A = this chain, B = another copy of it.
Amino acid sequence: MSRFFGVVPPVVVPLLADGQVDYPSYTRVLEHLIQGGCHGLFVLGSTSEVIFFDEATRQRIIEHSVKVVAGRLPVIVGVIDPGTERVIGHARAAQQAGADAVVVTAPFYAITNQQETMDHFRRVRGAIDIPVVAYDLPVCVHTKLARSTTVQLAREGAIQGLKDSSGDDGNTRYVILDTRDVSDFFVMTGSEIVVDSALLMGAHGVVPGLGNVDPAGYVRLWDAVQRGDAAAARAEQERLCRLFEIVWVASGRLSGGASGVGGFKTAMRRLGLIATNTMTSPRGSLNEAESQRVDEILRSVGLLAA
């Protein structure tokens, strides 16, 4: 098996009230995830609000992460930007800063086809010396990585893994089947709520945003699947599904993106991990009434005393 496996949360980036990154809180989040038993970390993914950060901030976040983690876990780094050149720029910087792998989406804004998308991944891979993980995220980039695209890139060695946030579990399953003979290739699901299913299909890991709130829960789920205890895995997954409802507390009032990551931040603040639930501008943050509803959910799953 590859060194990339298991529970690999996308790390939330806490902010001060003025919108600057709160590095002391960020350090606490990293330690929380490591102490929680995670097997890797995904820095600068969508949950990290990567798309709102400029080059300098991204660079500092990577460097801070690598320094705090200090080799205890693999650190994979999102290098998310619409066009190939800038993605390459981010990827080189990430490698230089010590990233163990980079995560790359299909191009976005510009309309491209699967052939152009393949060339995009090949060019990024050709520019660096660390593995590339394809990030299938049609909800953000509005292109689905076709099964044949992913499998072709895997066979060429252009990508060493797939982070699948497409919600298309049937497609995930076919990619797993088709790449079974590709040495070291790994598939991780970006889902929080069908992780047991994905692992039972043969996925090698999970990248749950909700893992920021309850890493130990996802590690228990992972361990249950490893020892073949489907019933325990399901029970833990169902508990995490109840916890996941924090992402909808502010939906309607806020955008889906703000409501989701904002739900994580609000729960993390309540658990003492971070100082504020501030979101990157122009996203709004959860208000007091919504925070209380998050507290109720935390209590209902045992993360907060009743």
Contacts and interface: CB of A to CB of B under 8 A. Distances in A.
Interface string A219-261: 0000000001010001000100110000000000011111000
A interface residue count range (under 10 / 10 to 19 / 20 to 34 / 35 or more): 35 or more
A67 to B, nearest CB: 24
Interface stretch (A25-33, A48-56, A95-103, A295-303): A48-56
B174 A111 contact: no
Nearest to A281: B84
Nearest to A257: B111
Interface string A46-70: 1001011110000000000000000
Given A108-B108, A109-B108, A238 B200 contact: no
Given A52-B84, A54-B85, A54-B86, A194 B177 contact: no
A201 B234 contact: yes
Interface string A267-295: 00000000000001111100000000000
Nearest to A202: B234
Interface stretch (A137-145, A149-157, A209-217): A137-145
B193 A170 contact: yes
Contacts of A53: 83, 85
